[in-house]
Amino acid sequence: MVCTDQEKQKGLAILYSPSDDGTRPVACDGSVPWWTNQHIELIHATNPTDVSTAYVGQGNTIDVLVNNLTAATIENVNVEAWVCNFTLGVGPASSLPPPGTGPGKLTGFAPSVAPGATPTRIHCSPTWTPTSDQIINVDGDHGHLCIGANVYSDGGDGEPLPSGGFNFCCNARQGQRNIAIKAVPGGPGMRQLIFTFQLANPNGSRQLVTTVDVRRTTGRFAMTAADRKMLQINPIVHQMTQNRQPAVRETETVSAARRPAIDIHSLPNHAVPQLVRALPVSLAQFRLSPLRLAALDLHLPEHGTARSSRLNVTLEPAERTAIELRVEFSAGEQVGNVHTFDMLQRAENGDILGGGRVFAVIT
**Domain contains 117:** yes
Q: What does residue 286 show for φ and ψ, rounded to 5 degrees? A: -60, 140
What one-letter code names the amino acid at 272? V
Domain annotation covers residue 258: no
The CA-CA-CA angle for residues 74, 108, 116, to 5°, reads 35
The CA distance from 325 to 342, in Å, is 10
Structural domain boundaries enclosing 128: 5-18+25-223+289-362
- CB neighbour list of residue 251: distance below 8 Å, 6 or more residues apart: none
Cβ proximity of 122 and 110 under 8 Å: yes
Query: What is the sign of the dihedral through the CA atoms of 213, 214, 219 and 221?
Result: positive
Asked if residue 241 belongs to a domain, the reply is no
Query: Contact 63/120 with Cβ under 8 angstroms?
Result: no
- The pTM (predicted TM-score) of the whole model is 0.81
pLDDT per residue as tens digits for the range 176-226? 998 888 888 766 666 889 888 888 887 778 898 889 999 999 988 898 888
3-7, 40-44, 289-293: least confidently modelled range: 40-44
Residues 6 or more apart in contact with residue 167 via CB below 8 angstroms: 3, 7, 174
Average pLDDT, rounded, for the chain: 80
> Is residue 65 scored above 60 in pLDDT?
yes
Whether 180 is covered by a domain: the verdict is yes
Is 228 inside a domain boundary? Answer: no
Helices (H) and strands (E) in the chain — how many of each? 5, 20
Q: Which amino acid is at 114?
A: A
Which residue in 234, 235, 193, 208 sits closest to 88, CA to CA?
208
- The CATH number of residue 315's host domain is 2.60.40.2310
Domains of the chain: total: 1
Distance of CA 183 to the CA centre of its chain: 16
In a domain, 152, yes or no: yes
Residue 189 resides in a domain:
yes
Q: What are phi and psi of 176, to 5 degrees?
A: -130, 135
Residue 260 lies in a domain: no
pLDDT tens figures, 258-294: 333 333 333 333 333 333 344 443 445 788 999 999 9
Per residue in 300-318, pLDDT (tens digit) is 877 655 678 899 888 888 7
Instruction: Please state, in angstroms and rounded to a whole number, the distance separating the CA atoms of residues 120 and 24.
Output: 21
